[in-house]
């Protein structure tokens, strides 16, 4: 408990990290609302996934979450506070687990707020854009199973992105490098997949890419057209995050602070 309290205190008193959390919520909701406002569904129907449109902002908010996670670790290395932390709590595994637990809790809370705001915005805006029951679109509601899965999955997606950032930052220590690696995995990997000419290889790369695979959990229609299933895709991102945490944890234990 003392390790959790210490990590919570450090995170809570870091002003920049608090502002980043608020920015992640605001950006996620704003981009989602902007997207559903911009898309129109004509009388003939549009075949769009309304839930996924409302949750589009997650693709932007995740960058802020990743940066927050990296700074939560690299800041301690930059100031030398990590030595003080490890002197007070010599068990490095406990320290690392506490960091992961506190980061998970705060991103879980922020992600829930961001996703809830996005869906509420979608519920209010989508009917005015033509997404009405007459066109086959019921109002967005968490009582709908696929919508609930997309919402919960989006929150878990943001948590896993944060844990990926935590693991990478612990492994490389330096903020700019860690941010570059994490954002590259999230945004560059899908671009590489798109420029591959072979459809089969393109599909395989999408199945392995953290963002396209992980965000499959947001899909509520045309699931058979996805390169990977919703929960399986989130599992791919989970595997990336687990690998990063394992490498980061092992390096934290095996080298000098």
* pLDDT, tens only, 56-68: 999 999 999 999 9
Q: What is the pLDDT of residue 256?
A: 65
- DSSP 8-state symbol, 55: T
Q: What is the pLDDT of residue 43?
A: 64
Note the pTM of the prediction, 2 decimals: 0.93
Question: What value does the CA radius of gyration of the chain take, rounded to a whole number of Å?
Answer: 19
Instruction: Give me 157's structure tokens.
Output: 């997606």
Residue percentage of the chain with pLDDT more than 70: 95
Q: List, for the chain, all residue ranges whose pLDDT scores fall below the cut of 70.
A: 13-15, 43-45, 78-80, 86, 256-257
> What is the number of structural domains in the chain?
1
Q: What is the pLDDT of residue 50?
A: 92
Query: By residue range, what is the domain housing residue 169?
Result: 2-254
Other Cβ atoms within 10 Å of 16 Cβ, number: 11
**Cα 156–235–143 angle (5° rounding)?**
45
Distance (Å, whole) CA 17 – CA 12: 8
Contact between 2 and 91 (Cβ < 8 Å): no
* pLDDT, tens only, 98-144: 899 999 999 999 999 999 999 999 999 999 888 888 887 888 999 99
Specify the 3-state DSSP secondary structure of 211: helix
Q: What is the full DSSP assignment across 11-51? A: HHH-HHHHHHHHHHHHHHHHHHHHHHHH----TT-----HH
Q: What is the pLDDT of residue 222?
A: 86
Contact between 223 and 230 (Cβ < 8 Å): yes
Q: What is the pLDDT of residue 257?
A: 57
Q: What is the pLDDT of residue 210?
A: 95
Q: What is the pLDDT of residue 45?
A: 63
**C-alpha distances in angstroms, 84 versus 76, 182, 218?**
9, 27, 42
Contact between 103 and 72 (Cβ < 8 Å): yes
Q: What is the pLDDT of residue 80?
A: 65
Contact between 221 and 147 (Cβ < 8 Å): no
């Amino acid at each position: 408990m003392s390790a959790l309290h210490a990590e919570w205190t450090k995170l809570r008193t870091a002003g920049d990290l608090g502002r980043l959390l608020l920015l992640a919520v605001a950006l996620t909701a704003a981009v989602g609302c902007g997207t559903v406002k911009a898309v129109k569904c004509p009388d003939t129907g549009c075949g769009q996934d309304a839930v996924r449109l409302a949750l589009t902002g997650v693709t932007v908010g995740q960058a802020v979450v990743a940066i927050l996670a990296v700074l939560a670790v690299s800041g301690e290395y930059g100031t030398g506070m990590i030595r003080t932390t490890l002197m007070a709590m010599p068990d490095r595994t406990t320290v690392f687990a506490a960091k992961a637990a506190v980061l998970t809790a705060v991103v879980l809370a922020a992600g829930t707020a961001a996703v809830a705001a996005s869906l509420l915005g979608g519920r209010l805006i989508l009917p005015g854009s033509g997404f009405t029951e007459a066109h086959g679109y019921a109002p967005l509601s968490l009582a709908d199973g696929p919508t609930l899965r997309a919402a919960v999955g989006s929150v878990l997606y943001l948590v896993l992105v944060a844990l990926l950032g935590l693991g990478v930052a612990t492994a490389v220590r330096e903020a700019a490098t860690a941010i570059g690696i994490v954002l590259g995995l999230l945004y560059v990997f899908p671009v590489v997949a798109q420029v591959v000419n072979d459809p089969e290889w393109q599909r395989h790369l999408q199945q392995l890419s953290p963002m396209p695979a992980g965000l499959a959990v947001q899909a509520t229609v045309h699931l058979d057209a996805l390169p990977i299933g919703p929960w399986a895709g989130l599992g791919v991102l989970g595997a990336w995050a687990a690998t990063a945490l394992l490498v980061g944890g092992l390096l934290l234990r095996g080298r000098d602070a």
